[in-house]
Amino acid sequence: METKFRIDLMEIEGDGEFLCPACGVTISPDDCSEMTYSILDTKTKEDGTLEEVIVQCRGCQSIICLDGFTLLEEISSEQDFGIILKNH
């Protein structure tokens, strides 16, 4: 049976790393290897801003929905970091 979790990034301290709620493996946005997780889907709002990212833990196959990207919107509206989010 597939296990699903929802994590609000606004509640996470640090640079976005969190532990899988099921198996405890560290999931980091800096890990581009896809050895610990894979990105299944991204959802954006009508204006193109990121709303939700759905990842799957490679350790236990849990589905994790990440939301709380509001802070990212606030930061990008205050400062220009030169980051462009693209919907694939």
Q: What confidence tens digit (pLDDT) does each residue in 54-82 have?
A: 999 999 999 999 998 875 555 444 444 44
Under 8 Å between Cβ of 19 and 9: no
Q: Residue 72: exposed, middle, or buried by beta-carbon count in 10 A (0-12, 13-18, 19+)?
A: middle
Identify whether 86 is part of a domain.
Answer: no
Q: Rounded distance, CA 62 to CA 6, Å?
A: 11
Per-residue pLDDT tens digits for 17-66: 999 999 999 999 888 888 999 999 999 989 888 899 999 999 999 999 99
Identify whether 41 is part of a domain.
Answer: yes
Mean pLDDT for the chain overall: 82
Beta strands in the chain (DSSP E): 4-8, 18-19, 26-27, 37-44, 50-57, 63-67
Parent domain of 33: 4-78
Number of domains comprising the chain? 1
pTM attached to this predicted model: 0.76
Identify whether 9 is part of a domain.
Answer: yes
Identify whether 58 is part of a domain.
Answer: yes
Identify whether 84 is part of a domain.
Answer: no
Identify whether 46 is part of a domain.
Answer: yes
SS3 74: helix
